[in-house]
C-alpha cells in the first residue's frame, strides 16, 4: 500500500485493478454456470417423476389388458370343461399344454 501511495500511475488501470476485474469476471461466470446447472438439474428431476409415472401407468394398462385376456380364456376353458362334464359333445383340443379328450372312458366319473 505504501508503494501505491508513493508511485504515480501513468495509465488508467493498475495491476491490482486488472487482477480484481479478472477474478470478478471469473466469479460471475461461475455463478452463471452454477445457476444453469441448478436449473437443468431441477428441471430433469421434476420431469423424471412425470415420466416415471407415465411409464408406470402404461405398464399397469398393459397388465390390466393381460388380466382381461387371461380371464376370458379361463372362462372359455371353464365352459368347455363344464360341457364336457355334462356329457355334451364338445371339441376341447389342445390348449395350454393340456390334452383333453372329447369322450370319457367307461367307468370314469
User: Could you tell me the CA-to-CA distances from 76 to 22, 72, 104 in Å, in that order?
Assistant: 80, 6, 20
pLDDT at 96: 44
pLDDT at 79: 87
Instruction: For residue 56, tell me if it sits in a domain.
Output: yes
pLDDT over 90 (residue 61): yes
**Locate cell 452463471: which residue?**
32
pLDDT at 51: 81
Instruction: For residue 88, tell me if it sits in a domain.
Output: yes
Instruction: For residue 10, tell me if it sits in a domain.
Output: no
Q: How many domains does the chain have?
A: 1
Q: How many Cα atoms occupy the beta-carbon half-sphere of 85 within 13 Å?
A: 6
Beta carbons of 83 and 100 less than 8 angstroms apart: no
pLDDT cut 90: percent of the chain above it: 39
Q: What domain range includes position 77? A: 15-99
Q: How many Cα atoms occupy the beta-carbon half-sphere of 12 within 13 Å?
A: 0
pLDDT over 50 (residue 19): yes
Confidence tier at 11 by pLDDT (50, 70, 90): low
pLDDT over 80 (residue 100): no
Task: Look over the chain and give the mean of its residue pLDDT values, rounded to a whole number.
Answer: 79
Separation CA 35–CA 14 (nearest Å): 32
Instruction: For residue 104, tell me if it sits in a domain.
Output: no
Amino acid at each position: 500500500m505504501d508503494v501505491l501511495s508513493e508511485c504515480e500511475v501513468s495509465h488508467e488501470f493498475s495491476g491490482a485493478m486488472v487482477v480484481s476485474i479478472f477474478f470478478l469476471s471469473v466469479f460471475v461466470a461461475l455463478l452463471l454456470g452454477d445457476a444453469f446447472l441448478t436449473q437443468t438439474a431441477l428441471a430433469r428431476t421434476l420431469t423424471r417423476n412425470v415420466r416415471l409415472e407415465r411409464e408406470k401407468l402404461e405398464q399397469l394398462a398393459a397388465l390390466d389388458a393381460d388380466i382381461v385376456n387371461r380371464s376370458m380364456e379361463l372362462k372359455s376353458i371353464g365352459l368347455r370343461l363344464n360341457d364336457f362334464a355334462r356329457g355334451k359333445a364338445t371339441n376341447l383340443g389342445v390348449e395350454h399344454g393340456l390334452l383333453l379328450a372329447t369322450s370319457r372312458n367307461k367307468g370314469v366319473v
